[in-house]
C-alpha cells in the first residue's frame, strides 16, 4: 500500500497544496510570482512522475509545457510587466490574514469531505489526488477574490488551473490532456496580454504603439 510510487506522488501533491497556502500568505507581488513559479515546477515534477508511474509518455509533453510556460515564461513576463508598468508591489487584502487562512483550512476540509464518498470504489490514489486538486482549485479561487491586485488575480487563476491539470493527470487515461494544457496556456497568455493592454490604455490613454514614440523624450520625432 505504501509503495514508493504512492509516497512520492503524495509528497508532490502535498507540496503543491502547501505552496497554494503559501500563495495566500504572501503580501508582495514578486514573492507571489516566485512561489507560483515554484508551484509550476512542482506540477511539472508531479506530471513527470505520473507519466513514469502510468506508463504514459504523452504526459511528459504536458510536464515540459507546464515547466516552460508556467514555470519560466509567464512568471518572467509578469516580473517584467510589474517592473515596467510600476504596478503596486504591495498586495491589499480584503480579509485579514487570520480569517483568510482559516477560510483556506475550511476549504481544504470541505474538499476532503466532498471527495470521500465519490471515490469509494476507485482506490486511494485517485481519491487523494482529487481531494488535493479540488483543494488547490478552491484555494486559487479564494486567492482571486481576496486580493485587490490584477497580477495576483492572474496568478490565482493559473494556480487554479494547476489544480485542474493535477486532477487530469492523476486520473489514468484521460484523453486530450496535452491538448488541454496547451490550450489553457494559450488562454493564460491572452489574459496576460489583455491585462497588459488594459494597463497601457489606462496609462497612456491609447494603445496606438506609434503614440508611444512621442513619450520617448530624447529621441527626435521622425516620420
Partner 1 sequence: MAVVVGLCCVAAFFAVALLALVRGPFGTAFVYGACGAIALAGLAVGARALADGATSAITLPIGLALLGGHFRIDALSAFFLVVVNLGGAVTSLYALGYGRHEAAPLRVLPFYPAFLAAMNLVVMADDAFVFLLSWELMSLVSWAIVLAHHREPANLRAAYIYLVMASFGTLALLLCFGLLAGAEGGYAFDAMRAAHPAAFAVELAVILALIGAGSKAGVVPLHVWLPLAHPAAPSHVSALLSGVMTKVGIYGFVRIVFDLVGAPAPWNGLVVLVLGGVTATLGVLYALMQHDLKRLLAYHTVENIGIIFIGLGLALAFRSNGMALAAALALTAALFHVLNHSLFKSLLFFGAGAVLAATGERDMERLGGLIHRMPHTAVVFLIGCAAISALPPLNGFVSEWLTFQAILVSPLLPQWGLKLTVPAVGALLALSAALAAACFVKAFGVTFLGRPRTAAAARAGEVDRFSRAAMFVLAALCVLAGVLPGFVIDALAPVAQQFAGGVMPKQSIQPWLSIVPIGESRSSYNGLIIFAFMIASGTLTAFAVHRFATRATRRSAIWDCGFPLDAPQTQYTASSFAMPIRRVFGSVVFGVHERVDMPPPGATRAGHFAVRVIDPAWRWGYGPLARGVAAAALRLNQLQFLTIRRYLTLVFCALIILLIVVAAWR
Partner 2 sequence: MAMILELALQGAQMLLVVAIAPLVLGVTRKVKARLLARIGPPVIQPYRDIWKLMHKEAVFAHNASWLYRGAPYCIFAVTWVAAALIPTYATGLLFSWSADLIAIVALLGTARFALALAGMDVGTAFGGLGASREMMIASLAEPAMLLIVFTVALVAGTTQLSAIASLFATGSQGLRVSLGLAVFALMFVGIAENARIPIDNPATHLELTMVHEAMVLEYSGRHLAMIEFAAALKLVLYFSLIACLFVPFGMAAGQKTAAALALGLAVWLAKIFALAALLPVGETSVAKMRVFRYPVFLGGAFAAGALAVFLLFVSRGY
Question: CB under 8 Å, gap of 24 or more: what pairs does 58-63 form?
Answer: 58/177, 58/178, 59/169, 59/177, 59/178, 61/178, 62/165, 62/169, 62/177, 62/178, 62/181
Please report how close the Cβ of residue 124 comes to partner 2 at its closest, in angstroms. 5
Comparison of 93 and 189: residue with beta carbon closer to partner 2: 93
Q: Which three cell numbers stand for residue 215?
A: 513619450
Which is closer to partner 1, CB of 95 or CB of 178?
95
Cα distance between the two ends of the chain? 73
Cβ proximity to partner 2, 94 vs 105, nearer residue: 105
Number of residues that bind partner 2 (CB under 8 A): 24
CB of 116 to partner 1, least distance (A): 5
By rule CB under 8 A, what string of x and - marks binding of each residue 127-146 to partner 2? xx--xx--------------
Report what 140 binds from partner 2, partner 1, none; CB cut-off 5-8 Å by kind: none
Q: Between residues 109 and 197, which has the closer beta carbon with respect to partner 1?
A: 109
d(CA 173, CA 4): 21
CB of 74 to partner 1, least distance (A): 35
Q: Which is nearer to partner 2, 92 or 179 (CB)?
A: 92
x/- letters, 89..108, toward partner 2 (CB under 8 A)? --------xx--x--xx--x
Site string for partner 2, 41-60 (x = CB under 8 A): --------------------
**Of these partners, partner 2, partner 1, none, which one is at the site of residue 194 (CB under 5 to 8 Å by kind)?**
none
Amino acid at each position: 500500500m505504501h509503495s514508493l510510487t504512492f509516497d512520492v506522488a503524495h509528497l508532490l501533491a502535498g507540496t503543491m497544496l502547501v505552496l497554494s497556502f503559501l500563495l495566500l500568505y504572501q503580501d508582495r507581488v514578486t514573492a507571489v510570482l516566485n512561489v507560483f513559479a515554484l508551484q509550476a515546477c512542482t506540477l511539472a515534477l508531479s506530471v513527470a512522475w505520473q507519466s513514469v508511474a502510468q506508463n504514459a509518455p504523452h504526459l511528459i509533453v504536458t510536464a515540459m509545457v507546464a515547466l516552460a510556460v508556467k514555470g519560466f515564461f509567464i512568471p518572467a513576463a509578469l516580473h517584467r510587466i510589474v517592473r515596467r508598468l510600476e504596478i503596486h508591489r504591495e498586495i491589499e487584502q480584503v480579509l485579514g490574514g487570520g480569517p483568510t487562512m482559516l477560510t483556506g483550512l475550511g476549504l481544504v476540509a470541505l474538499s476532503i469531505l466532498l471527495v470521500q464518498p465519490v471515490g469509494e470504489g476507485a482506490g486511494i490514489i485517485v481519491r487523494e489526488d482529487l481531494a488535493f486538486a479540488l483543494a488547490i482549485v478552491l484555494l486559487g479561487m479564494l486567492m482571486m477574490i481576496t486580493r485587490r491586485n490584477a497580477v495576483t488575480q492572474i496568478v490565482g487563476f493559473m494556480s487554479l488551473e494547476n489544480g485542474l491539470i493535477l486532477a487530469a493527470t492523476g486520473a489514468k487515461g484521460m484523453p486530450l490532456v496535452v491538448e488541454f494544457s496547451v490550450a489553457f496556456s494559450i488562454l493564460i497568455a491572452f489574459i496576460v496580454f489583455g491585462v497588459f493592454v488594459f494597463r497601457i490604455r489606462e496609462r497612456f490613454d491609447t494603445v496606438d504603439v506609434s503614440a508611444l514614440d512621442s513619450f520617448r523624450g530624447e529621441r527626435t520625432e521622425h516620420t
